[in-house]
Chain A
Amino acid sequence: MSILRDAKRTLMPIYAGLKHVFLKPYTIKWPYENIPNLPDEGYRFDPKAGIGYPGSKGRHLLYMEKCTGCGSCDLTCQNIAEAITMTYGFDVVTVLDEKCYEYFKEFRPEIVEALDAILGSFSAEPSCIQYNSLSSFFWTPTDVKQIIKVDGRYEIKLNLEPIFDVRAVEVLYQKVYPGVKKLKVTGWELGKLEAATESASVELSKQDLTVSVLVRKIDMGYKQNRRSFFPSVDYGRCVMCGFCVDACPFQALEMTNEFELSALSRRELIYTPSMLAKRPEEFNITGVPPELNVIERARMVFRRLVW
């Protein structure tokens, strides 16, 4: 009897499993296939009613036209993951005087070497992430042709999009200083470094030439946020709890259903306010899903037909 019972018990799993051989498998072949269970809505919070709305807790979405730079989100996250840092937007400008500009037009080697060093260090990726600094990873190529004359001096703006950081001097130290220091070898002299939270500058001189590099805060033109003070989120730290969304009294912060946040370096995980302000459909960090080759495509079709 016991043998018979064991035989039945042994055969039953095979029978139970056999049914599933002829059914289509559960597996979703992400990223080749869409994920059906992703809610379209992101998590939002209504400060008036004091209640959240259900939705995905993915990457944040910042409404720059609503954010007042109050820092409530930062304060909340300091207690959770320290992912949010409040940042200003900065421009990096090289200022040439009259004589330098003449030299620049003639492509004299003295001035070219100085500009070369400044630009080179500006576009190089910093070697490490320093504490409390958030220089954005994405830089835009400098438009050297765009030269503006201000007060008899000529300004070359090095960045097309604002650089977000906590203090101006951090930008100067990380983005400009490494290159400028190398210029000492060729006879350039470094002037005094002037550093404040909102602007920083360093002056370079060689004989009668003077070039200065200036980091200055920009006004992004939002009426409610005159200081242009916005949160940046470090996704290497964020745990996607959504309490910063709850803390925002102006409904400026939301979450989206974008969860594909992987990156190749830690710096790429720091999202600046201008990146957070883009909707997921405008800004796809992971890019298009990899293309399938013919064999893989055929195998998937085959799977569909058979099962």
Chain B
Amino acid sequence: MLLQEGSAKMAKEEFKSLEVYETGPTLTFSMGPQHPGTGHFRMVITVVGDMVVRCDPDPGFVHRGEEKMCEYKTWITNIPHLERPAILDSAGMTYPYVLAVEKLMDIEPPERAKYLRVIMAELQRICSHLYWLGLMGVFAGHATMYMWCFGDREYLVDLTQLIGGQRITHSYFVPGGVRNDAPPKVPRELVKDFSRYYRMILGKDYPGGEMPEDFRKYVLAVCDFFDARLDEYYPMLLDSPIFIYRTKGIGILKREDAISLGVVGPVLRGSGVKSDTRIDEPYDAYPYIKFNVPTMDGCDSYSRMMVGYYEMKESVKIIRQAVEQMPEGPVKLKQHPVTIKVPAGEVFASAEAARGQCSFYIRSDGTDKPYRVKICSPSFRNLIAMPYLIRDVRIADIPIIYWSLNYWPVECDR
């Protein structure tokens, strides 16, 4: 092959800037950019035999320009597209945006709205974690878990549908409250259908009494049901040797590394750091609710999965308390439904999404549109741990480590 002088020189310089490892014969290939469970994402992986020596994550395949898009849409019409990056957890994604706009406007939502937001956010946290756990079952070669998680997820998705009108992406939170109250009743057919599973799992009748369609009763029953199901998940997946041998001691992220890399959410808590925005900077109704922040000291993939598992149990607790404590009253401040005035200024707000802390920085110049919106999504912050974890492991461990980070490419690329 004939190389021109200039390009040869450039190649030389480029070669100099590369890090060179003494590893023997290596092979570099790219994993992706297909759909490894969550979205389009590519990893460039260098292997020696079966051992991975280097992993280069290559995000950006699903970049949608959400931040720029925010500058062209009004304050309220931004909400539908802002929940698209994390459709499983649309509440977690729009929560910080709504909190930030409320801070700018200096308004406080009504009490009932705060509780409804908490219920919705926790329901979607469970939905998102069930997806995480279910797909982890698939990656670890355990198809039953996938079926179970998705079967149980239906009842929680149904609950979000009753409140928000859709199965996912509800556009439910708006600055100044929520868009509608919870329904007083659930469909009779749904109660009939659900009570059968309730009896199947808990071995007792659905606690209907006089008014079996009452919303509050139904939510509490779903909480009981799901709690019992979570107890069944433990021997099924998390205590089974298939899963333990594949995840224990794989992808170790030490406590100090986790802090210095700045990871968030279950990944950080799986490394033994007790950090949660709901406790550290409580917002909305979280100060009135008692719950724990589960942490694990294993620092490996197994710990991260266990944190997810225990978080679901905590979320059930939160929903139960929120439903019981929820006061009556209005759910939204009186304002124009689609055109709101936001004064000039800048603001930063964060909330705990399912994958960790999600933060928004918003700058307003007093017009009907934001001047700048900066999104710091949890997946983006967890991505940085990936090259550190996928190193000196076997190729077969890549999916386990990748998915134990609960990485969601769409949320990362925004």
Contact = CB atoms under 8 A, between A and B. Distances in A.
A38 interface: yes
A54 B163 contact: yes
A51 B190 contact: no
B74 interface: yes
Contacts of A12: 235-236, 239-240
Contacts of B338: 76, 243, 246-247
Contact of A80 (B77, B161, B165, B166): B77
Interface string B142-182: 00100000010010001001111110011100000001111
Contact of B232 (A16, A37, A41): A16
B73 interface: yes
A40 interface: yes
B81 A247 contact: no
Contact of A39 (B162, B170, B181): B162
A181 B190 CA distance: 58
A242 interface: yes
Contacts of B144: 13, 17
A304 interface: no
Given A9-B240, A37-B187, A51-B180, A243 B192 contact: no
B161 A37 contact: yes
Contacts of A23: 200
A247 B337 CA distance: 6
Nearest to A239: B80
Given A37-B190, A241-B80, A247-B338, A255 B241 contact: no
Contacts of A239: 80, 169
A39 B159 CA distance: 11
Interface in A180-218: none
B76 interface: yes
B274 to A, nearest CB: 29
Contacts of A241: 79-80, 169, 171
Given A37-B190, A43-B180, A50-B335, A79 B165 contact: no
B331 A51 contact: yes
B235 A79 contact: no
B77 A54 contact: no
Given A26-B154, A79-B74, A243-B338, A54 B190 contact: no
Contacts of B180: 43, 51-54
B181 A6 contact: no
Nearest to B331: A51
Interface in A43-65: 43, 45, 47, 50-57
Interface in B70-117: 72-74, 76-77, 79-81
Nearest to A249: B337
B187 A6 contact: no
A93 interface: no
A34 interface: yes
Contacts of A24: 196, 200
Interface in A71-91: 76, 79-81
Contacts of B288: none
Contacts of B232: 16
B80 A80 contact: yes
Contacts of B337: 45, 47, 50, 243, 246-247
A51 B241 contact: no
A34 B189 contact: yes
B240 A13 contact: yes
Contacts of B161: 37, 39, 56
B81 A255 contact: no
B303 to A, nearest CB: 18
B262 interface: no
Nearest to B157: A37
A37 B190 CA distance: 5
Q: Residue among B80, B163, B165, B179 with the most chain A CB within 10 A? A: B165
B51 to A, nearest CB: 27
B328 interface: no
B22 to A, nearest CB: 39
A67 to B, nearest CB: 17
B240 A40 contact: no
B330 interface: yes
B204 interface: no
B197 interface: yes
B334 interface: yes
A243 to B, nearest CB: 6
A17 B166 CA distance: 31
A81 B183 CA distance: 28
Nearest to B151: A26
B193 interface: yes
B237 to A, nearest CB: 8
A36 interface: yes
A130 interface: no
Contacts of A53: 180-181
Q: Residue among B79, B151, B192, B241 with the most chain A CB within 10 A? A: B241
Contacts of B335: 50
Contacts of B171: 241-243
A50 B164 CA distance: 17
A10 interface: yes
Given A243-B80, A247-B338, A13 B235 contact: yes
A54 B181 contact: yes
Contact of B239 (A9, A54, A80, A255): A9
A240 interface: yes
Contacts of B241: 6, 9-10
A56 B165 contact: yes
Give the top 9 A-B pairs by smallest Cβ distance, nearest first.
Answer: A52-B180, A79-B77, A57-B165, A36-B189, A246-B337, A12-B235, A241-B80, A37-B158, A54-B183
Given A36-B187, A56-B166, A247-B338, 19 more contacts: A9-B241, A16-B235, A37-B162, A38-B187, A39-B187, A50-B335, A51-B181, A51-B331, A51-B332, A53-B180, A54-B180, A56-B165, A57-B170, A76-B338, A80-B77, A80-B80, A81-B80, A241-B79, A242-B171
Interface of A: 6, 9-10, 12-13, 15-17, 23-24, 26, 34, 36-41, 43, 45, 47, 50-57, 76, 79-81, 239-243, 246-247, 255
26 contacts: A6-B241, A9-B235, A9-B241, A13-B235, A13-B236, A26-B151, A37-B189, A39-B161, A39-B183, A40-B187, A43-B180, A47-B337, A50-B337, A51-B179, A51-B332, A52-B179, A52-B180, A54-B164, A79-B73, A80-B81, A239-B80, A240-B166, A241-B80, A242-B171, A242-B179, A243-B77
